[in-house]
Amino acid sequence: MKKRIFLSMILAAVMLAALLAGCGSGGSAAQKEEPAAAESTQKEAAPAETKAEDTAPETESTEAATTSADEAESTEAVTTSADETESTEAATASADEKENTEAATTSADEKESTSSALRDAAEENTGVGNPWSDVESAEEAAKGAGIDSFVIADDPGLDLGQLFEKTYRCMHGIAEARLEYPASALTVRKGTYAEEGDISGDYTEYANTWTQDVNGIEVTCFGNREGDAAKSIWTVDNMYFSIVAEGLGGDEDFGLNAERLTAMVNSIQ
């Protein structure tokens, strides 16, 4: 009995020792396998870190390239904008210069045209010549005109003030006298030449026209104020007569009233 118990105890001790030995081997194996696993993890992590380190320069390089591209595009845009602005300014300047040139050309053409017209007028006047001749008296005026007589009374009896100047001139077919008063002047003509019965040479269009009888002579009167004759014309024995009155004191519508006109017509022969 004791012997069996003893054997059982020995067997149990052996089994316990074996079990303990097995546990120690397992723990050592596990401990040996863990460094390997850690080393493998480190090896696997190292490429990851390497990849990260390798990727970082590539990323920086890509960003730098992108930034450079953006800067290059921005520079090109600025350059293009500057070129377009310069081109626009050049086009505007060219248009302004063209307009100025055209204006100058037009002005020059107008000036040349005006000068040409003045030259033509001067040449025409020079070619025709002045048909009038200044003379000293009414008698010389009649002779130069080729008519029998030309007489104006020394004092026609007008209330126009003092007659301070009387001048004469003539051309073929017309004798003329100019009488100047302080504020008015009268031009008297007599002759054989008249355009449509009007020898006066006054082509002004007046507002009013009327006739006045002077000792049986029908005188046609023209004036802007009715009753004040700025121009008067009549005919006696195929001779044409006229009186043109003008204001020298600012009265542009000056004319001879009925009394003054009667006095002048009676003083002319």
Please report the pLDDT score of residue 99 as a whole number: 59
Neighbours of 240 (CB within 10 A): 21
Mean of pLDDT over the chain: 73
Examine the pLDDT at 190 and tell me if it is beyond 90: yes
Pick the range with the lowest mean pLDDT from 98-112, 135-149, 164-178: 98-112
CB atoms within 10 A of CB 80: 10
Q: How confident is the model at residue 48 (pLDDT cuts 50, 70, 90)?
A: very low
Q: Would you place residue 225 in the very low, low, confident or very high pLDDT band (cuts 50, 70, 90)?
A: very high
Instruction: State the Cα–Cα distance between residues 258 and 265, nearest whole angstrom.
Output: 11
d(CA 102, CA 96): 10
Q: Given pLDDT bands bounded at 50, 70 and 90, which one contains residue 77?
A: very low
Tens digits of residue pLDDT in 5-38: 556 677 777 677 666 665 444 444 334 444 343 3
Token reading at 171:
């051309």
Region 147-172: mean pLDDT is 93
pLDDT of residue 29: 39
Mean pLDDT (whole number) for 155-178: 94
Which range, 38-42, 89-93, 110-114, 132-136, is most confident?
132-136
pLDDT per position as a tens digit, 238-259 = 999 999 999 998 888 999 999 9
Alpha-carbon gap, residue 215 to 35, rounded angstroms: 161
What is the average pLDDT across 150-154? 93
Q: CB atoms < 10 A from the CB of 135, how many? A: 20
